Amino acid sequence: MSKESASGLPRAVILRGAAELVALRALVPPGSALLLSAPGAAGFLGPRPWRAMVAAAPGFADALCCGDAAGDALAALRAGCRRLVLDNACPGYHMVEGAAAEIGAILLPARPPALDLAGLDLRRADAFAKLNAWLAGSNTPAA
């Protein structure tokens, strides 16, 4: 059972690739985790590949991280991303916030605490236990 974060979203797990997504989907029910991209992924991966990857996980919320790049955030909104992370110290934050509000998208001002799946072999009992503990409300990401 997952626990929601203070934002009302499920607890976040950092998703870096399709293999992690396949493993995660096999282990936890839809809606039990927020699929969070790697830091700044909007710039190096791009919003369209992110959207294509998370489309394989219906029922899961997702958030694409734009780092401090307002232009990447606007491109992500145009590509159909509806939940973004943009550093609120970014000079263009309020402009992106307004654009997001116009289309009903959610703009998070900072990355939420998250469990990084990189290096975790979710087929192993200890890694699976870390994932379950995190989703159940453990206070610190254990990766």
- The list of the chain residues with pLDDT below 70 reads 1-7, 139-143
Q: What is the pLDDT of residue 7?
A: 63
The verdict on residue 39 lying in a domain is yes
Q: What is the pLDDT of residue 3?
A: 54
The verdict on residue 87 lying in a domain is yes
The verdict on residue 129 lying in a domain is yes
* Domains contained in the chain, number: 1
The verdict on residue 142 lying in a domain is no
Query: Are 53 and 44 in contact, with CB atoms under 8 Å apart?
Result: no
The verdict on residue 143 lying in a domain is no
Q: What is the pLDDT of residue 119?
A: 85
The verdict on residue 7 lying in a domain is no
The verdict on residue 27 lying in a domain is yes
The verdict on residue 109 lying in a domain is yes
Q: What is the pLDDT of residue 2?
A: 46
Q: What is the pLDDT of residue 14?
A: 97
Nearest to 51 by CA among 60, 40, 39, 64: 64
Domain span including residue 71: 12-136
Q: What is the pLDDT of residue 8?
A: 83
